[in-house]
Structure 1
């Protein structure tokens, strides 16, 4: 065959695709072909049209993939931001609970001088109430820590 023409198979091999795809491009765009010795051949101008179409199609595919990746990155950034906000809220709650516990402990622990006087003067019910409040706050802190650990684990597993 002359150097000015190429078969569909030769062009497909050159472009790294198959004959069917080249045939579809030819049919879709009405690119002129010739038949020589029972083989369909393309002249140089037809070959250049197919190459141009192939390049445009590749750029379009790459652009689409880039747009998808960009939107995926935005979603991940939003998720990370939300996770960081939740972690900050949890940290603030834990600090508030710890401050409340410290306040309750300060009420519970009298000074050395008046320990016996306060123990005798405070009713037993008040002591039990304070103990219950301390237990409840400790349970809340444990629950928040477990929740925070669960959120952290879920977030960590998200990146796997």
Structure 2
């Protein structure tokens, strides 16, 4: 493939359009053939230039599309990383809360003894008596509920 510069193309066009009246008819025939050949060559090159421009335009469009896709992918990756970090923080918080709850539920043997020794014996006895009284009240309420339901049941028989 031979490419001509714009100056060369203009020169050839000028030569083709300019027909010399001084030349002999035989020269004119050969010149016409050369001119036709050069005209065809220029047309072919112009078509190739148009094709190359179109290919370049298509390439630019594809690059723009790829750039937008890359930007979207980077955005999604950033979102995914932020979500993963949030999940990790939540898991760490949950783990610390669970550890705190375990520590509260199962006090060590030393703390149990310290608590027992720190409370006076009288307070323990009063608390036990209060618990027994509350248990008695609960049992009484349950018995009343059972009696009421039996009476209601028997009423329908």
TM superposition score category, shorter chain reference? 0.3 to 0.5
Q: Mark the structure with the bigger radius of gyration.
A: 2
* RCO comparison, higher one (Cα < 8 Å, 6+): 2
Q: TM-score, normalised by structure 2?
A: 0.46
Q: TM-score, normalised by structure 1?
A: 0.45
More strand by share: 1
